[in-house]
Chain A
């Protein structure tokens, strides 16, 4: 059983389109995250949700909108895609938000987005 899954794995689209990436975790975790890994492999937090509530919203363009329909799902919708949005997007989850600093974050396989 895959613990954290993302769909699609690859996404190739034209500039200006709107796309969504879906994430699901079956670990029973309360907290979910979106990270972006750029072309230089640098990973940066975008959003975090705890029990469907938005906790972190980093300086991300408002074209990016996360949605958490329930604790097990955190989707990322991107409007008006730009060339600079090309990256790998990782979803992750942890048991709680601040219950213990040792809590491991489990990552999904990543979604490779290419904007043409």
Chain B
């Protein structure tokens, strides 16, 4: 079985600051993929970043980076230089054989960026 935990229901960050959104996971899959999606108030699901369980380096995509600590089973999302448009729900998700290769989501973190 797989479990994704996001312990921060809501976060605030000031514009231009960096913010870390926490995600921990548990799985018996030997290999798995970890994803972060953004859901703005308009409702669409936007893919942000991917990290493979065997990747040696942490993933980065523009202002997004993933702080992957396999031994701790954590895959935190770091957003640098926050912008007002970053205000949204952020979901951590995992994919592997145990989930039938569907995405297994955490409960999400609501991020509010303030001026």
Contact = CB atoms under 8 A, between A and B. Distances in A.
Contacts of A11: none
Given A40-B107, A41-B107, A105 B96 contact: no
Interface string A23-54: 00000000101010000111111001000000
A90 B105 CA distance: 13
Interface residues of A, number: 27
Interface string A86-116: 0010101010011001101111011010000
Interface residues of B, number: 28
B101 A98 contact: yes
Contacts of B39: 41
A107 B91 CA distance: 13
Contact of A101 (B45, B52, B105): B52
Contact of A102 (B33, B102, B108): B33
B31 interface: yes
B97 interface: yes
Contacts of A105: 35, 47, 95, 103
A55 B50 contact: no
Interface of B: 31-33, 35, 37, 39, 43-45, 47, 50, 52-53, 89, 91, 93, 95-97, 99-105, 107-108
Given A97-B101, A98-B97, 11 more contacts: A41-B39, A41-B107, A43-B91, A44-B105, A45-B102, A55-B101, A101-B52, A101-B53, A101-B96, A106-B47, A110-B45
